[in-house]
Amino acid sequence: DQQVKQNSPSLSVQEGRISILNCDYTNSMFDYFLWYKKYPAEGPTFLISISSIKDKNEDGRFTVFLNKSAKHLSLHIVPSQPGDSAVYFCAASGGSNYKLTFGKGTLLTVNP
Amino acid sequence: ETGVTQSPTHLIKTRGQQVTLRCSSQSGHNTVSWYQQALGQGPQFIFQYYREEENGRGNFPPRFSGLQFPNYSSELNVNALELDDSALYLCASSRRDRKNYGYTFGSGTRLTVV
């Protein structure tokens, strides 16, 4: 039972355009959501997070949107840069449980 | 500030053998979590250690065990290796009192079971 789903295995965008990565979840107990970026041969790197009490969090070029009623979140990258090319993981956690539940990831390719 | 370091980076073992993976947590972090990432999958939570005790466990059998030491470093032990244990094993450290869940991950150990 996959509680965090990233339905797009890959996404390709042009440099300078917007990248939108999507994530759906099923567990209503999740109250904290995170995005991680992973380059080959490296561990995941924390990118941005959002609490369930908010619907938007922004950090520079990265914005995460949360729609609790739809159990959906998205990561927007504007403008996209070639260095953003990586696998992006959506992760969720709930209550006092520090365990992170990850999606399968989306490979983003930003073409120059 | 040193990050999370894992050793070894790659390892090949035979089915039925035992393996120990090691992790040094980031300076100032007191919690260590281990994740297994199979090919094409996201990382899956194995367990977490805080104050040298297991503090939460995912859906992994008892042959997966761990330790946390007073300096917050950690080991993951896997007994009776199976072919399906082939994966990237990630260690992540964090501050227990920081609710941003900003785990710092190591680069992982690639385990191949043949």
Q: Write the pLDDT tens digit of every residue in B91-103.
A: 999 887 665 567 8
The predicted structure's pLDDT at residue B55: 87
Residue A12 has pLDDT above 60, yes or no: yes
Q: Write the pLDDT tens digit of every residue in B29-40.
A: 889 999 999 998
Q: Is A64 exposed, middle or buried (0-12, 13-18, 19+ CB in 10 A)?
A: buried
More confident residue, B11 or A98: B11
Residue A28 has pLDDT above 60, yes or no: yes
Contact B105 A93 (CB under 8 A): no
Q: Write the pLDDT tens digit of every residue in A75-103.
A: 999 999 999 999 999 999 887 667 899 99
Contact B102 A49 (CB under 8 A): yes
Summarize the confidence of residues B5-16 as an average pLDDT: 97
With beta carbons under 8 A apart, name residues in chain B contacting A103.
42
Contact B66, B47 (CB under 8 A): yes
Q: Is B49 on the interface with A (CB under 8 A)?
A: no
- pLDDT, mean over chain A: 94
Summarize the confidence of residues B64-93 as an average pLDDT: 96
Residue B1 has pLDDT above 80, yes or no: no
Strand positions, DSSP E, A1-112: 4-5, 10-14, 19-25, 32-38, 45-51, 56-59, 62-67, 72-77, 86-94, 97-102, 106-111
The predicted structure's pLDDT at residue B101: 61
With beta carbons under 8 A apart, name residues in chain B contacting A97.
56
Summarize the confidence of residues B49-71 as an average pLDDT: 93
The length of chain B in residues reads 114
The predicted structure's pLDDT at residue B98: 63
Q: Write the pLDDT tens digit of every residue in A43-57.
A: 999 999 999 999 999
With beta carbons under 8 A apart, name residues in chain B contacting A99.
33, 45, 48, 56, 58
